[in-house]
A and B are shown apart, each in its own frame.
Chain A
Amino acid sequence: MTKQLRFYGGIHPMEGKVAQSVAIAEPPLLETYLVPLQQHIGAPAKAVVAKGDQVKRGQVLGEAQGFVSAPVHAPTSGVIRDLTTCLGPSGAQIPALILASDGEDAAAEPMPAMDWRQATPADLKLRVAAAGIVGKGGAAFPTVVKLSPPPNKKIDVLILNGVECEPCLTADHRLMLERAADIVTGAQITARILGLSTIILGIENNKPDAIAVMRQAAAGSGVEVCCLKVRYPQGAEKQLIYAVTGRKVPSGGLPMDVGCLVQNVGTAAAIADAVCLGKPLYERVTTVTGTPLVSPGNWRFRVGTTFAEAIKLAGGVKEDPAKIISGGPMMGMAVYSLDIPIMKNTSGILLLAKGELTQFEVRPCIRCGRCNDSCPMGMMPGILSVQIENQRYELAEKWHVMDCIECGCCAYACPASRPLVQHMRRAKAEVQAARRARAGK
C-alpha cells in the first residue's frame, strides 16, 4: 500500500455524483445553437461570418484576436441567423452568433490528420491553436498559451487532471472510462510539444473504475497513474501539483515556475481529436444533474446548446429548481437565465431543489480558525474578511488575498456562515483595480 497523496487543508463535502454510472450520450441535433464568441479567457474571437452565411460543421466562425485568445468553430451546419449578444454564466453580455441548423450536419473540409509521432512540436502547437482548444476544466485558458512557456522556464512534468473533486460532476470520470486511449494520446502529444517525458495522471481514489481503465490504457505509454486521497479542492492546479510532485508554487506564481503544466483530461482528449482527426473543439462532455431532474446524466453537447435544451434532454424537471448553477456546487456560478449557452468550459449544469438551499444568517467571526485549517492556500480567510469588511484592501493585499483560488472551503467550514469567498472576490477586484491604477501612473 503506497502512501496516499494529498495536499494541505481542504474539506470533504458530500460527493453527490449520481450521474457517474450514466454513460455519455449523444444529444439529438437542435434547431438553433447560440454560439458565444468568447468561450475563453482573453480577447473575444472576431466573427468572420456574416448574417445569412451558410456554414458547415467545424468551420471557423470567429478568429482568435491576439495571442491570448481562441477561435470558435461551428457546432453544426446551417445558416447564421444573427449576430447578437448572449448572457454568460458570470452575468456579463458576450458577443454571440445564432446558428440555425439545416439538419444535415454536414462537416466542413477537416484539417488534415497528423501523425503526432512524426510532426514537429511547432506544427502540433499550431494545430492546438487552430482547433480552438482551451482548458476544459473551468478557467478556459487558451491551451496554446500554456504550451508556450517563456524560454527561461523549463517544464519537466505534465500533470493530467482527472481528479474531478467538485461534487456532483461526473463528466471527466465518464470521459476517462470511455475515452481512456484518447486521453493518453493527448497527453503524449502535449509531452512531445513540451519535450518532456514525465506524465502523471492524478485521479482521486473514489473512482476505482477510472483508475483501473486508465492504468490499462496507459500501460507502456509513459503515463503514470497516481491515486489521490479524496479531498476537495484536489483538482485545483496548485493543490494537484503539491499532491503529485510535492512542489509548491510560490505566491503569485504559475505552475511553470515549478516546472509543471496541469491539463484537464478533457483538454487532452480534445488535443488528440484535433491532431489525429483534425477535429476542432466544438463539443464537450457536460454533466446535467441535480435532484429536481428526472434523469441526470452526461452528454456530449455541442457548444451553443442552451441550458434550457440541456435540461429538457435530462428529462425535464419533476419539481421546481430553486437554484441553477453553471459548474459544480462549490465553484460554479449561479445563473438566473436558461438562455445561457454551454461553452467549452461548462463542466456541469446543476439544479438544486428548494429544500437543498439554506438562507444563511451572517454572524460575526468568532475566531475559531476553521477557515485557516481548511484553506488550501494557507491563508487566513476569517481575519482577512474582517479587514475587507472595513475596506482595508491594501492590508488584504499584503496578506496575500490575491493567492485566493475561491474554492469556497473557508465559507463551507465557517460556523458563523460568513460569506468569506465573496469578501475575497471583492478584495481581489479592488486590489486589481488599484494595481491597474498604479501601472497607469
Chain B
Amino acid sequence: MISVIVLTVTGLVSGLAIGLVVKFYGATPNPLEEKLLQLVPGANCGGCGFAGCEAYAKALAEGRAKPGACPSMGEDVVREICALLGVESQLRAPMAAVVCCSGDDDHARRMAFYNGINDCQNAMLVAGGGKGCIYGCLGLGSCARACPYGAIEIRANHIAVVHPELCVGCGKCVSVCPRHIIKLTPKSAPVHVFCSSPEKGALKKTFCSAACIGCRKCVKAAAENQMTMSGFLAAVNYDNPPGADVAAACPTGALRTAAVVLESTRG
C-alpha cells in the first residue's frame, strides 16, 4: 500500500515538474513548422535531399527548401504548402524510375549459377554476378528493398520492374543499383530504351535477345531529335519524347512502354 502511494505521489510531482519546465523553459514550437509537418508525406524517402520528412518541413519553414522538391507530394498538397509559405506554386514534373534492361532469364544468358547472398551488390563481388551482359539487371532485388514505396517488383524470371503508378521518383533505387541501370525519367514520356549496354550490337546479341542492337530504326521512325544514338545504344530525348507508336519500329523489343514491360514480363 505504501509503495502504491509513494509511486503515485512521485509520479504526480515529477509530472508537474516536467509540465512547469516545458511551460517556462521549453522551445516555443514554430506553428508554421507544425502545420508543414502535418502536410509532408512521412515516408522519409530522402528524395527531397533532406534527412527525412521532418528535416524537410523544418527546411521549408526556414525557407531553405522549395515546396516542389518532395517527389511523393500530391499537387494539391504542394499548392497548400505554397499558400502557407506565401510563395508562388513550384511544381516539379513527376518522375518515375525505369530499370533500363530487358534481359530477364527468358532473353539474357546467365554464364554461371550464382547461389550466394540474395542481393545484387553482394552478387557483384562474385565474378560480377555471372550474367553474360555485364550491364544487365541481376534481378536480386537491391532496388526493390531500397524502395520505400514498394514500387519495384522482382519478377520470377529475375528482372526488376517498376510500377510507375507507385513510383514517386525519389531516386533511392538509382543509387543502390550496382549496375547503374536505373534512370529517373519524366512520367509523361511514353517509351524507354530498356537496355544499358554500350557494346556493339553483335556482342550484345550473343548474350541477350532483347538488347538494343543499335540498328537506328527507332531514330528513323521517330520525328527529328526525338530519338538519339549514344554510341551503339539508342536513347530517348526526354526533352522531346517520341510517341508510344515508335516502339513498333524496334526489332528486338528493347524500346517499349512501361505498361508493355509490366504486361510482357512473366510474373
Contact = CB atoms under 8 A, between A and B. Distances in A.
A240 to B, nearest CB: 26
Contact of A426 (B111, B115, B121, B129): B121
Chain B at the A interface: mostly helix, strand, loop or mixed? loop
B197 to A, nearest CB: 13
Contacts of A337: 111
B134 A93 contact: yes
B5 interface: no
A334 B112 CA distance: 9
A423 interface: yes
A419 B114 CA distance: 13
B122 A422 contact: yes
B130 interface: yes
B117 A336 contact: no
Contacts of A429: 121, 125
B126 A336 contact: no
Contact of A91 (B115, B116, B127): B127
A333 B125 contact: no
Nearest to B129: A91
A423 B111 CA distance: 23
A91 B129 CA distance: 8
Given A92-B128, A360-B115, A422-B122, 12 more contacts: A90-B128, A91-B126, A333-B127, A337-B111, A359-B115, A419-B116, A419-B117, A422-B126, A426-B117, A426-B119, A426-B122, A429-B125
Interface in A412-441: 419, 422-423, 425-426, 429
A425 B112 contact: no
Interface residues of A, number: 19
A422 B116 contact: yes
Contacts of B119: 426
A165 B134 CA distance: 34
A335 interface: yes
Contacts of B115: 359-360
Interface string A121-143: 00000000000000000000000
A411 to B, nearest CB: 11
18 contacts: A90-B128, A91-B126, A91-B127, A91-B128, A91-B130, A333-B127, A334-B126, A334-B127, A336-B111, A336-B112, A336-B130, A419-B116, A422-B116, A422-B117, A422-B126, A426-B117, A429-B121, A429-B125
B245 to A, nearest CB: 37
A422 B134 contact: no
A90 B121 contact: no
A229 B112 CA distance: 37
B194 to A, nearest CB: 23
A423 B123 CA distance: 11
A90 B117 contact: no
Nearest to B125: A425
B108 to A, nearest CB: 14
A86 B134 CA distance: 13
A93 B127 CA distance: 10
Interface string A258-296: 000000000000000000000000000000000000000
B122 A90 contact: no
B145 to A, nearest CB: 10
Interface string B70-88: 0000000000000000000
B47 to A, nearest CB: 19
Interface in A78-116: 89-93
A95 to B, nearest CB: 15
A90 B127 contact: yes
Given A93-B134, A336-B130, A419-B117, A426 B125 contact: yes
A297 to B, nearest CB: 26
Interface string B96-139: 00000000000000011001110101100111111000100000
Contacts of B117: 362, 419, 422-423, 426
Contacts of A423: 117, 122
Contacts of A89: 127
A203 to B, nearest CB: 32
Contacts of B121: 426, 429
Contacts of A425: 122, 125
A89 B128 CA distance: 10
B125 A422 contact: yes
B127 A336 contact: yes
A89 B126 CA distance: 10
A359 B116 CA distance: 10
A336 B125 CA distance: 14
Nearest to A423: B117
A235 B115 CA distance: 28
A90 B125 CA distance: 8
A90 B130 CA distance: 10
Nearest to A359: B115
Contacts of A359: 115
Interface in A135-185: none
A109 B115 CA distance: 50
A89 B119 CA distance: 21
Interface in B202-226: none
- Of B121, B127, B128, B134, most buried by chain A (CB within 10 Å of CB) is B127
A426 B111 CA distance: 22
Interface string B27-55: 00000000000000000000000000000
